[in-house]
Structure 1
Amino acid sequence: MKQILMIVLLVFLQLVFSCKESPKKSEEVQNTTTSWNTDFLDDFDTFNTDNWQDQRIWVNNENHCYVPDGEFGTREVSNGTLKIKVVNTGEKRPCDNLDKQGNEHPETEYVAGRICSKNRKEFVKGKWTARLKLSSNGEASMFPAWWLLGAQNNESPVQEEDENICWPLTGSGEIDIFEHHGDHMKDEFTTGAIVSLGECDKGDWQSQRRNFPSTLNEFHEYSVEWEKSDLVYRLDGKEVYRNVGEGDKYPEPMFAILNFAKITDSPMMGEWVMEVDWVKHESRK
């Protein structure tokens, strides 16, 4: 009889303690999901030059020329979204874009848009998110991207004295939130950090980046957040990948870049579009 009473008492105590713990666990979950403050949001009612500027630099053997002020419709805001494009103008024309060594881009019939928040909106860690889609699920030569770069990067435009650190050293580190390589994939995007190898222009593109499926011609939210020492990548709020221990390698303020590039010789007609509904940065409370 005593044993039965003891068992009943133990069961009763377990129920009491479990009831006491449940609200705490629920509260912890709630705190986790509501622990962000939005400190930057652009929903593209207009092109706000307090948030963005054109960035024109020739990298990655790109076949297009970045043009300013949305020439040829390469960067436009309409119906509440930003459109970043690659456009075939139909004839080759001179291009004034310079690469990191000062070499001028050869003539090309392709023009494109690239904007950055450099010296406009720069943040240390936190969480960056963009809601965007492409005009198709993948075509040869497509290379659209949504990514971050350290604010001391020494590439054009150089506007402040401390912008003297070469890619991808600390101060000029790179995190790719969304990239699509049309020559290598369809219905997929690439996400992950570029690992610095400790020298100018020496980066590891492979070890910390992975490909994941997505319906590219539909709107999705692509984000990266610093979670303690990790970088966590999410698609529509769900974690798809994690760079364990890489977050501490990016202590610097970072700015955002949206661009659409054409990177191989495959021909294209008309235009390609990356449509961006909004971009935001959040900081933990």
Structure 2
Amino acid sequence: MSRTLSSRSALGALLAVALVGAGCSSAESTPAPPTYDASDAVQARVLPQLAATGEDVEAADEAAWVVDATVADVEAGTAVTLVAETGDGEWETVSEAETDDEGHVALTSREDGELHVVVGDGDDAIGAAVDTADAPEAGFTDDFDEDTVDEADGPWATRDQGYIGVRTCSRASADAAEVADGVLRLSVLEDPDRRGDECQLPGRRKKFPFRLNGHVGTEGSYAFTYGFAAARIKTQAARGQHSAFWMQAAGGQQPGGPEKGGAEIDVMEYFGDDHPEGGLTSFTYFLDEAGEKKTLGGWLPDVDELGDDWASEYHVFSVEWTPEEYVFRIDGRVTQRIEGETSGRPEFLILSLLSSDYELPRFNGELPEHMDVDWARVWETGPS
């Protein structure tokens, strides 16, 4: 099923170009595209609009396109530029980054249309041309301009979870999910129905207030199989709860491996600032033939290189899901790649700020805590 909701009006001025891994290059503009030798050594493709850092809300349509490129036979740290035609008809370098050990690089552009990936300069320059028209088209977008949570015609519904399992001290509640000013705000707050009561975890003396969690999903209204899923999120700061953007198989997981039985795909989880492991994870879970739970993925290494402003600025967290792999990205930059058999079942979207029992002893904030979602979007590709 494909569903598109209203988009927010374009901002009066575009945000600064979001770059991945390297700073912006302000090369002089020229009236013509760059000159280079087209080379098979430069392979590039345009991904959807998966990059948009910043403090303010903005429409999903204003996010930056991501160009995924690979340059053969170059050293790590080789500079690669992306050149685009700006609104005034001039060609400018809009992004610059350096290759990794395998020659991969991610570049971004707020300009659409024809783009040129260039390596080297002068007579030695080689490159390739791509076009944003070749990127997948969005099939689901929610900019949260309207309240689409727990509404008859809205895709999001509060999930049924309360005081059980790994969250005996918390439950999901519609009171912890609010749409206002173009943002879905998910919260952890004290449960007013149990004010004065305290939850005690087994083996621990300390007691905790019972909590409400913001926990919504598109189960029963929207699901897809293969493609890109992304959400622009500003996380909570404190530990003791975790922001999450994830997916589960429609109808529930079944034994038999991910292709047959589906999977849980945790695009991102953030466990708070100053976490000893950095705080960010990407996982996938599935049931094998015997019904045993299998886990792939883990904590993201070198989180400080990705950013340290998760609670003060929005970032786009995304997954590219194909039959052969999951590729997780933050603002277009690959953070983790899990290769092998993937879910072959339709998956629905989930956004949540959850306080699990194992986190509560590490709570170092003040209730309420908040996770803000600027938009959520899916580009369906099918198995190809």
Instruction: State whether TM-score is above 0.5.
Output: yes
Q: CA deviation at 1:272?
A: 0.9
Structure 1: distance between partners of 2:335 and 2:368: 30
SS at match of 1:145: strand
Q: CA deviation at 1:188?
A: 3.0
Match of 1:8? none
Match of 2:146? 46
Match of 1:176? 266
Structure 2: distance between partners of 1:189 and 1:254: 22
Listed as ranges, the matches of 1:1-285 within 5 Å are 19=37, 21=39, 30=130, 34-48=134-148, 49=151, 50-57=154-161, 58-67=164-173, 70-71=174-175, 74-89=176-191, 91-92=195-196, 109-136=210-237, 139-153=238-252, 165=254, 170-182=260-272, 184-185=275-276, 188-200=279-291, 202-205=292-295, 207-212=296-301, 213=303, 214=307, 215-217=309-311, 218-227=313-322, 229-245=324-340, 248-263=341-356, 264-266=359-361, 269-284=366-381
Distance 1:219 1:235, change over 3 A: same
Distance 1:61 1:238, change over 3 A: same
Q: CA deviation at 1:121?
A: 1.1
User: Which deviates more, 47-56 or 86-95?
Assistant: 86-95
Distance 1:20 1:112, change over 3 A: closer
Distance 1:130 1:46, change over 3 A: same
Structure 1: distance between partners of 2:333 and 2:345: 26
Structure 2: distance between partners of 1:238 and 1:35: 17
Structure 1: distance between partners of 2:290 and 2:188: 32
Say whether the 8 Å CA contact 1:88–1:269 is kept in structure 2. Answer: no
Higher relative contact order (CA 8 A, sep 6+): 1
Structure 2: distance between partners of 1:211 and 1:92: 39
Q: CA deviation at 1:29?
A: 5.5
Q: C-alpha deviations, 1:144-195, integer Å up to 9, x for none?
A: 21101001217xxxxxxxxxx4798644410100112349547531013224
SS at match of 2:130: helix
Structure 2: distance between partners of 1:166 and 1:62: 27
Say whether the 8 Å CA contact 1:149–1:174 is kept in structure 2. Answer: yes
TM-score (norm 1): 0.71
Q: Which runs of 5+ in 2 are unaligned?
A: 1-35, 44-115, 118-127, 200-207
Distance 1:34 1:56, change over 3 A: same
Say whether the 8 Å CA contact 1:84–1:260 is kept in structure 2. Answer: yes
* Matched residue type, 2:350: I
Structure 2: distance between partners of 1:167 and 1:86: 36
SS at match of 2:251: coil
* Matched residue type, 2:298: R
Over aligned residue pairs, what C-alpha RMSD do you find?
Answer: 3.4
Structure 2: distance between partners of 1:65 and 1:93: 14
Q: CA deviation at 1:60?
A: 2.6
* Matched residue type, 2:324: S
Structure 1: distance between partners of 2:178 and 2:316: 20
Count how many residue pairs are aligned between Structure 1 and Structure 2: 237
* Matched residue type, 2:378: H
SS at match of 1:51: coil
Q: CA deviation at 1:130?
A: 0.2
Q: C-alpha deviations, 1:1-41, integer Å up to 9, x for none?
A: xxxxxxxxxxxxxxxxx95657x966976258832110000
